Structures are given as structure tokens and as C-alpha cells.
Amino acid sequence: MGDIVFSGGRAEGEVSPPPSKSHTHRAIIMSALSEGRCRVSSPLLSFDTRSTIGAVRRMGAEVLEEDGYLDIFTEELHAPDGPIDVGNSGTTLRIMTGIASVFGSETVLDGDSSIRKRPMGPLLDCLSAAGVSCSSEGGKPPVRVRGPIASPVLTIDGGVSSQFVTSLIMSAPLTGRPTDVRITGHLVSRPYIDITTEMMRRFGVEVGESAEEGCRVYHAEPQHYRPADYRVPADFSSAAFPLVAGGLAGKVTVRGMDPKDPQGDKRIVDVLKEAGCRVEESGDSITCASTGNLEGAEIDMGDMPDLFPVVAVLLSTAKGRSRLYGAPQLRFKESDRIALTERMLRSLGADITGTSDGCVINGVERLHGARIEHCGDHRMLMAAAVASLVADGPVSMDDDACWNVSYPGFPEMMQSIGMKVERRRSRYSSFRDGAFTLR
């Protein structure tokens, strides 16, 4: 496999971040549920979203990939005649588990070794209490579900994963009866639920929302998703990487952003400002520039957990003490992202200590180079790449292309704004020279 090596540089230029992965997943599934013909424009075609395309195809949807869009057509969605392989996509696993629960035949969902570590217990317990036959390996994949949902009330703790809640809300209109999704406890990553309900409205499904003592309730009458064309917006979580690069070592502009989008990750703009970067917003563009004077900050990561690794990198060389908090769900992502971020940054010389819901960072003047372990986590690899901009040596890691989960072309994008990127062959390679640079 070999290594990919990031050796810092100065980040200068303009980029267009890829489309939103979260929106693309939902648009594909809602298009398939509409049982008509839909066009999804500007989709993110990555490892994860291709897993969702494969899942809806197994359930009877036709998906035609063209340059810049997907045409999706379904006459009737049904339980698949074999297992659904979700690969490494937790979003596919969790949303499709809820959708499968409305069918009267069994659906099996499985994935790679990483996905088999992802917790599914709260969602399966909720569905079981509502009459769905569920089984798993100790609350983890592979999972088997056989519907239909027989209860008018679905109750789940909102403190583990917003994907569980999205799964239930998207399924509720399909049960054939008025259905309440009751969320107890603190609802993590609330903006992702807002994305779900806003997109459902685009596909003709209305969901009511109310607050009761001790819980939040989403109510859905029996409804059908209706065909619609949908354009996927740019992804703020991906835009965070070039923006932080600009804030650490240069000036970078990202284009194609929608400031009105409900994505929680658009808060990266506020985080950069609070840390002392110079940020300018104009229309669909955001520019972030280094001031050479980063300051520590206290940041609630509850609504933007995907930004945790790169925000920790941003603050690793900020003056004083920083605290990231409010995101215990990070322990249950592609990896334990709190532990892995701590280990990655410690390897590079940062003073960071993980906590139950985030971390504490005491800023150092500079990081140093090292070989880090990203464990196949795309956001960890990309955050480590950005960290090389404030490191006194190269940052190397396995070249397994895991960035394709959310940011196809990430190394080329970073090189286009001035980062030094190199790929080194494994010692078993037959090539003569020791390395080559991305072109």
C-alpha cells in the first residue's frame, strides 16, 4: 500500500468543496421512496454514498449515474432478496434499518470490520418494542429486521446518534397510521435532524414537531414520498479542512457554500473567528486567513461532531488552554474519534487530553513530524494532513485512500493550494525511485 506524506507548505488559493454527504444519502433514499422518477443533481459519489445507492438498488430502485447527477426511478420499493452490504457507511446502515422495518420480509444489513463495531442496540430496541422482529450480534451488525412497525409510538434516547432519530422519522410516514417519534434525553447533532425534516418536505412529507415534558416529539401522519428533483449543497464539514488550512498557514477561499443551509458544520465559520483567524463571507464564498495569533477557545461540539478532529488541530498551536466538549457520540463514530484524535495529535507533539465528551488542549508553539495511525478514518487522515502545516517535519500515514468516504480528490485539492504531498511506495514496489509527487 505504501504511505502518503504531507509536508506542510503555505495554503493559498480557492477551492470548491465536494457536495454534502449527509444530503446525498438522504436524497438518494427519499428519491427511491417516492416511487417515481427523480433527479439528484451534484451528488457526492463517494464510498459511503455508493453504499446507499447499492442499498436502494437491492430494494428495487433503478439508479442511473450520469455526469453531475443521478436519475432514480422506483415503481415499488420492497425488502431485498439478499443481504445489503453497507461497506463502512454508518448512515446507510442506520437509515436503511428503519426503512427495512416497514417491510413484512426480513432484511439483513452488514458491512466491513469497522461497521461491525458500530452500536445499533438503541435503534433495534426501539423497533423491537414497536413490534419489529430484530436480531444482531450483541447490538452490532450484522442486523436482521422484519416488520412491519405495529406501534403508533417509537421511543428512543437521543443521546447516542442522530442517525437513529433520522431513521425513525423517515420511516414514520410509511407505517400506515399516525406515528410519534419520541426522543428522550438530550438530542445530539440536532442540525442533522433539521436537514432530514427539511428534505422530507421537499419530497412532499410533512413532519410536526413539539416539546413535551422530558422529550421531543416528531409526529407524522400516513403519507407517501413524492417525486422531486433535488440539488445537493456543498458540504461545510469538508470545507472545514481547507478553511482551517488557511487559518493556520495562509489564505484560502471556499466557494459554492449556502449560508442558509441548516448544516450544523457551518459553525466552523464562528469557530475560526473565535480562534483568532480573519474570516470574510461574501455570497457563496468564505475566506479564512491566518493572523499568526491563534487563541485558545471553549467550543461546544455537540451539533458539529464531525469537525472535532480538525478543530482540535486548529487549536493545537493556539495560545493558552482550549476545551472541546458536548459530543460524547464521538466515541461511536468510524472510530473512537476522541481517543484517535488524542493519539494522533500526541504523536505530533500536541498537549491534548481526551475527556468523556471531547478534549482539553494546551497549545504548543509548533508540532513535529511523525508517522500517525488514522485507522481508516477519513476525517482523521484529513485532519492530520492539515496538521502538517504547523509541523516541523513531514506527517506520514497509510495511503489507503479513505478520504474517498467524504472528500474524493482531497490530496489533489490540498496540493492545489500549496501543500506538499508525496506518495511513497511500499518496500515491495517494483518501481526504481523512492517516491513520486502527485500531479
What is the total residue count of the chain?
A: 439
Q: How far apart are CA 225 and CA 31, in angstroms?
A: 8
Which residues is 6 bridged to in the sheet? Answer: 395, 421
Specify whether the CB–CB gap between 237 and 306 falls below 8 A: yes
Q: Which three cell numbers stand for residue 313?
A: 488541530
Give, in degrees to the nearest 5, the angle at Cα 397 between 393 and 400.
Answer: 150
- Active-site annotation holds for 433: no
Q: How far apart are CA 104 and CA 366, in angstroms?
A: 58
| Torsion angle of the four alpha carbons 161, 335, 266, 300, in this order, in degrees rounded to the nearest 10 | 70
Residue 350: closest CA among 330, 328, 324, 325: 324
Grid-cell match 468516504, residue found: 405
Residue type, 285: S
Cα Rg, the chain, nearest whole Å: 22
Count CB atoms within 10 A of the CB of residue 281: 12
Q: What is the 3-state secondary structure (H, E, C) of 145-212?
A: EECCCCCCEEEEECCCCHHHHHHHHHHHHHCCCCEEEEEECCCCCHHHHHHHHHHHHHCCCCCEEEEE
Grid-cell match 497549545, residue found: 363
Could you say which of 306, 357, 377, 399 is catalytic?
306
Question: Would you give the distance in Å from CA 102 to the centre of its chain?
Answer: 26
Specify whether the CB–CB gap between 231 and 261 falls below 8 A: no
Give, in degrees to the nearest 5, the angle at Cα 306 between 387 and 41.
Answer: 110
Question: In b/e form, how buried is each residue of 405-425, taking b as 16+ CB within 10 angstroms?
Answer: bbbbebbebbbbbbbbbbeeb
Return the axis-axis angle of helices 21-33 and 90-100, rounded to nearest 10°. Answer: 20
Q: How far apart are CA 134 and CA 123, in angstroms?
A: 10
Residue 242: DSSP 8-state:
H
Residue 325: closest CA among 207, 188, 197, 211: 188
Specify whether the CB–CB gap between 169 and 195 falls below 8 A: no
Active site residues: 306
